[in-house]
């Protein structure tokens, strides 16, 4: 696997070339990744997501799929935003541009995502039960419904990033 992000301030998750996915912890055993005897694996279903984000049923919940490109991705809880590294000279340069990127983003249509609590971000090719892998990040989310929106932003000449922002919905 090619590493695009250097270890630093935040934990980055990378893929081997396909989409990343955020699966609620409670349904991780139901995500088979590229494994399985079916004609279309969970990974194949994730690859079919068109656009920046999409939802796929997993157990009695849904997983958030990060489409478009296999960019290194992290979660910034202060902004309730997943940040996807497309281009930047350094992690510090990329993270410094996030506030401006959030202010100027042209957001795509929202999706509604219900989560029972924490989710795990990882490469969609891996089974959810493969908890020993180091390239995963657990994200503590409050149970509930979220509006999820995505954008690709170019806040500077050398900095391009994807944003996937969560907004907690009442109820």
Domains in the chain: boundaries: 20-168
pTM to 2 decimal places: 0.91
- pLDDT value of residue 129: 87
> Which backbone phi and psi does 30 adopt, to 5 degrees?
-90, -10
Confidence check: pLDDT of 19 > 60? yes
The b/e string for 88-113 (b: 16+ C-beta within 10 A; e otherwise) is beebeebbebbeebbeebeeeeebeb
- Cite the DSSP H helix spans in 97-160: 98-104
110-150: per-residue pLDDT in tens? Answer: 999 999 999 999 999 999 988 666 789 999 999 999 999 99
């Amino acid at each position: 696997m090619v590493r695009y992000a250097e270890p630093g301030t935040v934990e980055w998750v990378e893929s081997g070339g396909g989409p990343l996915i955020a699966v609620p912890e409670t349904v991780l055993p139901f995500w088979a990744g590229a494994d399985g005897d079916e004609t279309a694996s969970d990974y194949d279903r994730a690859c079919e997501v068109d656009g920046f984000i999409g939802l796929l049923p997993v157990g009695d919940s849904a997983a958030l799929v990060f489409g478009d490109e296999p960019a290194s991705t992290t979660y910034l809880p202060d902004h309730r935003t997943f940040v996807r590294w497309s281009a930047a000279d350094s992690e510090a340069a990329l993270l410094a541009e996030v506030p401006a990127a959030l202010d100027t983003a042209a957001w795509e249509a929202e999706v509604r995502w219900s989560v029972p609590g924490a989710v795990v971000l990882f490469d969609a090719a891996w089974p959810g039960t493969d908890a020993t892998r180091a390239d995963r990040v657990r994200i503590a989310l409050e149970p509930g419904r979220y509006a999820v929106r995505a954008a690709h932003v170019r806040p500077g000449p050398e900095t391009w990033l994807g944003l996937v922002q969560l907004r907690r919905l009442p109820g």
